């Protein structure tokens, strides 16, 4: 049993990419960003209730910024005069949960309100959010849960890998709950840090999946029957076509990977001489004497 | 008869073997016996084959010598000369006693080597059992590669360890007063060896004079009496056996001084028994200014010189470096490597010449390639900017009035279908039912499989190393290896596979092994057909 004083932090990184969620609202009106945030809140509340010393942090991963929904910097404790505050405390909820939920909803509203449409920034800043999550979990035992909606962004690869290895070094587990397309980067993250990767078949049941699979922490998971780990594709991509290859050619100077041999490496312009196999000269056939 | 190049060490006439008279010849490498009157040897044994010799006890009437071979056979010689039988037999026995050990070592050494290798490496032992004992390949083939690899390594380790020299060995001699006005010096062989190793000049003198001119006792008496041994060693006027040694020592010291100090911090680590040669210099240079020295100064400097020389000789003997008689090349400073001693204590980088190490710099033309991850470029959803704007506005509208409604997060049907998916047997839990093979198969079977893999790997290595087939030797070997592989498959692989299939379910443990063997067979077949075609 974990000691009562041990603080356990759960950081939930929610992908709130407005472009994806807007399109999602058009595809499936019954599961929108509001429902997603509700599910996350349910899970957050459950985590706080599991143990008195549990802590929660929620980061919204937007395409313009990564923003802490909870704990919020702008909350003022004395702001109980607003209508919202009164209504939430009226239902007899545990006050910590009420405050938490209020903060989250307030921050999300503000975040979405200040969204500016910029055509070239359409990718979720997931690497940055993860980095913030890592920084917030420094002093205590922590784990990160990523709820991913939009597709992977290849440009964030380096930062992503650095974050993953930093998490591994600090024994921080990264779990992933994927709503739409499979994410190779998150599969790697979960594999390397020892977390759980799950692509859920029904988005509407998100809350159930979160509570069943992702609520127990790493120590308790060994005693539960949970979905088995996925097979991770660790193949490298060739630098010329970005195809995933199993066998390729690597330049010994700059370590760039190619799928076909070429005598000059296009990255560092080193020339390579490979000795060709000796050609066996065919023996001249002796003419048989006619008998 | 005997080969003309063979050296005959002893001939004994009138030696009977199997009730026939004849002559016994002891040669450099073998012992042979030929009957009387005939020219050829009927019995001939190499000393290497002889395990031991036996002689009949002294009281017996028949004087015999028996040779027991390694194979277990024995040959008996009866010395029948009336007068000198006993002497003959003893002469033969003595000579054999001297010769046999020399040859014995060579034969046994290989066997010992093989035994040692098998004992040290359990994997090798298992391989040996699998391949040679079950007659898949012959013992010579098995040892063919291995002995050559390891003999080089072990020849160095077989050298005797050299014993170092105590620096105080001379002082340890500690003369005792003899009652009357004499001194007793106790010399052990250790001390004598130390003296010889430290002062090779003395060893030379010993070799020259003992035992022709002086007995050993006299030599050492003179040694201790001579001023060479004494403290001051100034008066070299006396014609002494050892005055030459003194002069050689002076020369040696001067040459050491001339070569300078290479390693002022004595590298004590180099004194271990390693095979490396390390350069070494004397610690401090004694002042050798020749002008204006008083007698006292002279004697002081002489003592100091002798101490330095003594230390240098002791260390040099420990390092196997001839200091006096050779001008061996000293290692240059940088060869010693920076980690032997603190560089900062000895040299200043700024004051040295620049080491022009030419390096090649990495010149990346397209470094952004590295930052792109293994995410294949997929055909992206093409979103028009209008789409983007619409989506964002939609979301903003939605979230502007966001209020969490936690009691209606999901319907119960949704929840139960999710639970079903997550339960064992559900959609998401399929992969877990496949147990890992290593949990289903017991460990003995696993270890047997490992042995099979090692053995198969060894055979396949021999097979594949024959290609390209250039020489007739390789051709033979290829054919032999193919038959070996077949035999291995028959005798080892198939029974194992049958056993596994009988006891455990349809786990295919040997599929990969069979694949490897099949590839080898295919290659052999291809090579064979090509060879046939070339011949026609």
Q: Is this model's pTM higher than 0.80 or not?
A: no
Average pLDDT value for chain A: 85
Kindly state whether B377 is in contact with chain A, defined as any CB-CB distance less than 8 angstroms: yes
Q: What is the DSSP letter of B330?
A: P
Interatomic CA distance for residues B172 and B197, integer angstroms = 16
Residues in B touching A230 (Cβ below 8 Å) = 431
pLDDT at A45: 94
Interatomic CA distance for residues A20 and A33, integer angstroms = 10
pLDDT at B287: 37
Q: What is the DSSP letter of B390?
A: H
pLDDT at B155: 45
What SS3 class is residue B4? coil
Residue B329 has pLDDT above 50, yes or no: no
Mean pLDDT to the nearest integer, A61-70: 90
Q: What is the CA radius of gyration of chain B?
A: 42
Q: What is the DSSP letter of B292?
A: S
Residue of B nearest to A258 (CA): B369
pLDDT at B508: 76
Residue B235 has pLDDT above 50, yes or no: no
Do β-strands A141-148 and A8-15 pair in parallel, antiparallel, or remain unpaired?
parallel
Paired tokens of B354: 């620049």
Instruction: Report CB contact under 8 Å: B399, A20.
Output: no
List all residues 6 or more positions away from B13 whose beta carbon is below 8 Å from its beta carbon.
Answer: B23, B81
Cis peptide before B468 (omega within 30 of 0): yes
Interatomic CA distance for residues A70 and B345, integer angstroms = 59
Task: Specify whether the CB–CB gap between B15 and B33 falls below 8 A.
Answer: yes
Instruction: Determine which helix (DSSP H) or strand (DSSP E) holds B462, and give its type and residue range.
Output: helix B443-465
Q: Please report which confidence band the pLDDT of residue B529 belongs to, taking 50, 70 and 90 as the band edges.
A: very high
pLDDT at B324: 37
Chosen from B363, B374, B407 to mutate, greatest number of chain A CBs within 10 A: B374
Residue B271 has pLDDT above 50, yes or no: yes
Q: Please report which confidence band the pLDDT of residue A265 belongs to, taking 50, 70 and 90 as the band edges.
A: confident
Kindly state whether B428 is in contact with chain A, defined as any CB-CB distance less than 8 angstroms: yes
Q: Among the listed ranges A234-243, B35-44, B427-436, which one has the minimum average pLDDT value?
A: B427-436
Task: Specify whether the CB–CB gap between A122 and A19 falls below 8 A.
Answer: yes
pLDDT at B269: 55
pLDDT at B501: 81
Residue A76 has pLDDT above 70, yes or no: no
- pLDDT tens digits, one per residue of B241-250: 666 667 777 7
Half-sphere exposure of A161 (CA within 13 A, CB side): 12
Nearest to B524 by CA among B493, B490, B483: B483
Place of tokens 């980088």: B349
Mean pLDDT to the nearest integer, B79-106: 80
Residue B437 has pLDDT above 70, yes or no: no
Kindly state whether A61 is in contact with chain B, defined as any CB-CB distance less than 8 angstroms: no
Paired tokens of A251: 């330049």
Highest mean pLDDT among B258-272, B334-348, B449-463: B449-463
* DSSP calls for chain A: ---TT--EEEEEEEE--HHHHHHHHHH-TTS-HHHHHHHHHHHHHHHHHH-TTEEEEEEEE-SS-EEEEES-SS--TT-TTSHHHHHHHHT---HHHHHHHHHHHHHHHHHHHT----TT--S--HHHHHHHHHHHTSSSEEEEEEEE-S---GGGHHHHHHHHHHHHHTT-EEEEEESSS--HHHHHHHHHHT--EEE-S-GGGHHHHIIIIISS-HHHHTTS--PPPPPP--PEEPTTT--EESS-EE-TTT--EESS--SB-TTT--B---PPPPPPPPPPPPPPPP-
pLDDT at A169: 93
Mean pLDDT to the nearest integer, B472-499: 86
Interatomic CA distance for residues A4 and B189, integer angstroms = 76
Chosen from B368, B422, B436 to mutate, greatest number of chain A CBs within 10 A: B422
Residue A39 has pLDDT above 90, yes or no: yes
Kindly state whether B468 is in contact with chain A, defined as any CB-CB distance less than 8 angstroms: no
- pLDDT tens digits, one per residue of B438-485: 667 788 888 888 988 998 998 898 889 888 888 888 888 888 888 888
Kindly state whether B177 is in contact with chain A, defined as any CB-CB distance less than 8 angstroms: no
Nearest to B223 by CA among B244, B253, B252: B244
Nearest to B63 by CA among B36, B92, B38, B98: B92
pLDDT at A285: 54
- pLDDT tens digits, one per residue of B140-170: 767 766 665 555 444 444 445 566 667 777 6
Residue A59 has pLDDT above 90, yes or no: yes
Q: Could you tell me what percent of chain B has a pLDDT over 90?
A: 3
CA distance to partner chain B, nearest, from residue A157 (Å): 5
Highest mean pLDDT among A84-88, A112-116, B102-106: A112-116
* DSSP calls for B331-384: PPGGGG-GGGS-GGGT--TTTSPP-----PPP--S-GGGTTS-S----------
Interatomic CA distance for residues A213 and B525, integer angstroms = 56
Query: Which residue did the predictor score with more confidence, A20 or B506?
Result: A20
Query: Which residue did the predictor score with more confidence, A88 or A158?
Result: A158
Residue of B nearest to A23 (CA): B391
Residue B227 has pLDDT above 80, yes or no: no
Residues in A touching B431 (Cβ below 8 Å) = 227-228, 230
Query: Which residue did the predictor score with more confidence, A14 or B381?
Result: A14
Q: What is the DSSP letter of B133?
A: I
Residue B315 has pLDDT above 60, yes or no: yes
Q: What is the dihedral of CA B508, B512, B513, B515, to 10 degrees?
A: 120
Mean pLDDT to the nearest integer, A19-47: 92
Interatomic CA distance for residues A16 and B422, integer angstroms = 26
Residue B270 has pLDDT above 60, yes or no: no
Residue B183, classified by CB atoms within 10 Å of its CB into exposed (0-12), middle (13-18) or buried (19+), is: exposed
| Nearest-CB residue to A101 (from B367, B404, B421) | B404
Interatomic CA distance for residues A247 and A231, integer angstroms = 19
HEC string of B167-218 equals: CCCCHHHCCEECCCCCEECCCCHHHHHHHHHHCHHHHHHHHHHCCCCCCHHH
- A 10 A CB-CB count for B365 gives 11
Kindly state whether B533 is in contact with chain A, defined as any CB-CB distance less than 8 angstroms: no
Q: Please report which confidence band the pLDDT of residue B343 belongs to, taking 50, 70 and 90 as the band edges.
A: low
Residue B251 has pLDDT above 70, yes or no: yes
Instruction: Report CB contact under 8 Å: A105, B403.
Output: yes
| Nearest-CB residue to A208 (from B399, B408, B410) | B410
φ and ψ at residue A257, rounded to 5 degrees: -105, 135
Task: Specify whether the CB–CB gap between B112 and B106 falls below 8 A.
Answer: no
Put simply, the chain B residues between 335 and 374 with a CB less than 8 A from any chain A CB are: 362-367, 369-374
pLDDT at B250: 77
Put simply, the chain A residues between 79 and 108 with a CB less than 8 A from any chain B CB are: 101, 104-105, 108
Residue B322 has pLDDT above 50, yes or no: no
Average pLDDT value for chain B: 74
Residue B290 has pLDDT above 50, yes or no: no
Residue B519 has pLDDT above 70, yes or no: yes
Residues in A touching B370 (Cβ below 8 Å) = 158, 256
Place of tokens 């050990």: B101
Residue B197 has pLDDT above 80, yes or no: no
pLDDT at B282: 35
B232: left (phi over 0), alpha (psi -120 to 50) or beta: alpha
B135: left (phi over 0), alpha (psi -120 to 50) or beta: left
């Amino acid at each position: 049993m974990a000691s009562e004083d041990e603080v356990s932090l759960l950081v939930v990184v929610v992908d709130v990419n407005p472009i994806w969620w807007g399109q999602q609202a058009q595809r499936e009106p019954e599961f929108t960003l509001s429902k997603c945030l509700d599910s996350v809140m349910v899970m957050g509340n459950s985590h706080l209730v599991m143990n008195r010393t549990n802590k929660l942090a929620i980061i919204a991963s937007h395409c313009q910024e990564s923003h802490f929904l909870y704990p919020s910097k702008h909350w003022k404790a004395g702001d109980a005069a607003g209508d919202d505050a009164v209504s939430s405390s009226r239902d007899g909820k545990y006050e910590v949960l009420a405050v938490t939920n209020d903060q989250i909803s307030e921050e999300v509203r503000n975040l979405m309100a200040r969204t500016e449409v910029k055509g070239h920034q359409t990718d979720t800043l997931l690497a940055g959010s993860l980095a913030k999550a890592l920084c917030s979990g420094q002093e205590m035992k922590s784990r990160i849960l990523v709820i991913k909606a939009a597709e992977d962004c290849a440009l964030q690869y380096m930062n992503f890998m650095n974050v993953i290895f930093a998490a591994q070094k600090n024994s921080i587990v990264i779990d992933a709950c994927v709503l739409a397309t499979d994410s190779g980067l998150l599969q790697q993250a979960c594999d390397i840090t020892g977390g759980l990767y799950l692509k859920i078949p029904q988005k509407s049941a998100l809350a159930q999946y979160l509570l069943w699979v992702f609520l127990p922490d790493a120590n308790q998971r060994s005693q539960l029957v949970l979905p088995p780990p996925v097979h991770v594709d660790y193949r490298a991509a060739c630098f010329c076509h970005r195809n995933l290859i199993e066998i390729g050619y690597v330049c010994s100077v700059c370590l760039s990977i190619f799928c076909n041999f070429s005598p000059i490496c296009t990255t560092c312009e080193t020339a390579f001489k490979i000795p060709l196999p000796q050609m066996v000269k065919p023996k001249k056939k002796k003419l048989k004497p006619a008998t | 008869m005997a080969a003309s190049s063979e050296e005959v060490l002893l001939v004994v006439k009138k030696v009977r073997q199997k009730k026939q008279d004849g002559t016994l010849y002891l040669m450099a490498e073998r012992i042979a016996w030929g009957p009387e009157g005939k020219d050829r040897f009927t019995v001939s044994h190499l000393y290497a084959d002889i395990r031991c010799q036996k002689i009949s006890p002294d009281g017996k009437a028949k004087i015999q010598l028996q040779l027991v071979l390694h194979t277990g056979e024995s040959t008996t010689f009866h010395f029948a000369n009336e007068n000198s039988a006993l002497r003959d037999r003893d002469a033969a026995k003595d000579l054999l006693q001297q010769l046999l050990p020399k040859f014995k070592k060579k034969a046994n050494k290989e066997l010992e080597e093989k035994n040692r290798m098998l004992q040290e490496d359990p994997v090798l032992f298992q391989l040996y059992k699998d391949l040679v004992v079950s007659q898949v390949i012959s013992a010579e083939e098995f040892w063919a590669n291995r002995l050559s690899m390891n003999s080089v390594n072990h020849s160095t380790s077989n050298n005797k360890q050299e014993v170092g020299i105590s620096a105080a060995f001379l002082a340890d001699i500690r003369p005792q007063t003899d009652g009357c006005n004499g001194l007793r010096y106790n010399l052990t062989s250790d001390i004598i060896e130390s003296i010889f190793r430290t002062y090779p000049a003395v060893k030379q003198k010993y070799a020259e004079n003992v035992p022709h001119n002086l007995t050993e006792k006299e030599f050492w008496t003179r040694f201790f009496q001579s001023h060479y041994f004494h403290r001051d060693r100034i008066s070299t006027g006396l014609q002494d056996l050892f005055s030459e040694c003194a002069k050689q020592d002076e020369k040696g010291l001067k040459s050491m001084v001339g070569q300078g100090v290479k390693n002022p911090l004595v590298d004590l680590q180099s004194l271990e028994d390693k095979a490396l040669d390390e350069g070494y210099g004397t610690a401090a240079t004694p002042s050798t200014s020749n002008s204006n020295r008083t007698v006292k100064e002279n004697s002081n400097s002489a003592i100091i010189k002798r101490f330095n020389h003594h230390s240098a000789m002791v260390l040099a003997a420990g390092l196997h470096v001839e200091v006096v008689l050779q001008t061996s090349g000293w290692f240059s400073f940088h060869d010693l490597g920076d980690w032997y001693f603190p560089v900062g204590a000895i040299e200043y980088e700024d004051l040295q010449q620049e080491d022009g190490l030419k390096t090649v710099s990495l010149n990346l033309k397209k470094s952004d390639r590295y930052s792109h991850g293994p995410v294949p470029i997929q055909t992206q959803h093409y979103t028009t900017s209008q789409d983007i704007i619409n989506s964002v506005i939609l979301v903003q509208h939605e979230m502007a009035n966001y209020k969490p409604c936690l009691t209606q997060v999901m319907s119960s049907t949704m929840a139960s279908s999710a639970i079903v998916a997550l339960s064992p047997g559900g959609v998401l839990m399929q992969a877990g039912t496949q147990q890992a093979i290593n949990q289903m198969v017991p460990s003995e079977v696993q270890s047997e499989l490992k042995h099979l893999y090692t053995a198969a790997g060894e055979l396949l290595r021999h097979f594949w190393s024959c290609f390209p087939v250039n020489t007739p030797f390789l051709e033979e070997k290829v054919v032999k290896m193919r038959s070996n592989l077949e035999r291995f498959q028959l005798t080892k692989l198939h029974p194992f596979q049958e056993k596994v299939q009988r006891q455990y379910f349809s786990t295919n443990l040997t599929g990969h092994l069979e694949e490897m063997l099949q590839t080898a067979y295919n290659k052999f077949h291809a090579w064979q057909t090509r060879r046939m075609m070339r011949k026609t």
